[in-house]
Amino acid sequence: MFKKEFTDDSFQDKRLTFKPLKDIIVVLFSFIVVVVIILLTYFSLPQSTATYVQIRYADTLLYDLNDPEKRTNISFPEEGKKVISYKREDGEIFLGPGNRFQFYGEEMEVTIYSDKSVEITKEDSPRHICSSLGRSYSPYASLVCLPNYFQVSIVMGGLPEWDA
C-alpha cells in the first residue's frame, strides 16, 4: 500500500514545477526590495561633519607647533595634506619644564589629509604597529598608538545630521 501512494499519478501532479512568469516576478520583486533597503540604509546614515582633528599624548591635548595661536583643534587642510611632527624634546613645550615625551624613537609624525582623514605616518614603536594602522576617515574611530601614548581623533562639530 505504501508503494502505491508514491507511484500513483495523483502524487506526480502535486510536485513543484517551474512557472517562468511567476518565478521571474518573485525574483524581480525580491531584488527591488533588497535594493530599496540598501538605498534607504545608505541615505539614512549621518552626514559626516568632521571639522577638526585632536592629537593627544597621554591626557594632554597637543597643538601644531606651526600654529601661532596654539589651537588644540587642528583644522583639515583645504587641499593636499598637512604633516605635524612631534620630537621627543618637544615634550617640555606641552608637558612642562623638564618633561620629555616618552615614546619610542625620536619623532612622531601625524598626517592630516584634505579628504577628512588622518594617519600616523612616522613612529618607531616595536613592529611599527601605529604607522601600519593606515588612514582613518571615521569620527567614531580614533587612531590609538599605545606604545607611544598617542591618540589621533577626528572630531565632529556637533551632533550628526540625519537625513529624513
CA distance 83 to 16: 66
139 to 24, 82, 98: CA distances (angstroms): 43, 18, 34
Query: DSSP assignment of 5-53, as one string?
Result: HHHSHHHHHTS----HHHHHHHHHHHHHHHHHHHHHHHHTSPBP-EEEE
Q: Cβ contacts of residue 135 below 8 Å, gap of 6+?
A: 113, 117, 118, 119
> DSSP 3-state assignment of 11?
helix
Verify that 146 and 102 share a domain, yes or no: yes
Average pLDDT over residues 8-12: 55
Q: What is the C-alpha end-to-end distance of the chain, expressed in Å?
A: 64
- Give pLDDT tens digits for 43-97: 776 555 668 899 998 888 898 888 888 888 898 999 999 999 998 888 888 888 8
Verify that 33 and 54 share a domain, yes or no: no
CATH number (domain holding residue 58): 2.60.320.10
| Residue written as grid cell 551632533 | 159
Q: For residues 41 and 144, is the Cβ–Cβ distance under 8 A?
A: no
The domain tally of the chain equals 2
Averaged pLDDT of the chain: 81
Strand partners, 110: 84, 120
What is the structure's pLDDT at 50? 63
Report residue 155's pLDDT band, with 50, 70 and 90 as the boundaries: confident
| Residue written as grid cell 524581480 | 28
What is the structure's pLDDT at 32? 95
Residue 20 confidence (pLDDT) above 60: yes
Whether residue 161 lies inside any domain: the answer is no
Strand partners, 107: 87
Whether residue 131 lies inside any domain: the answer is yes
CA distance 92 to 36: 56
Q: Which of 118 and 99 is assigned the larger pLDDT?
A: 118
**Containing structural domain, residue 22:** 2-43
Full-model pTM: 0.64
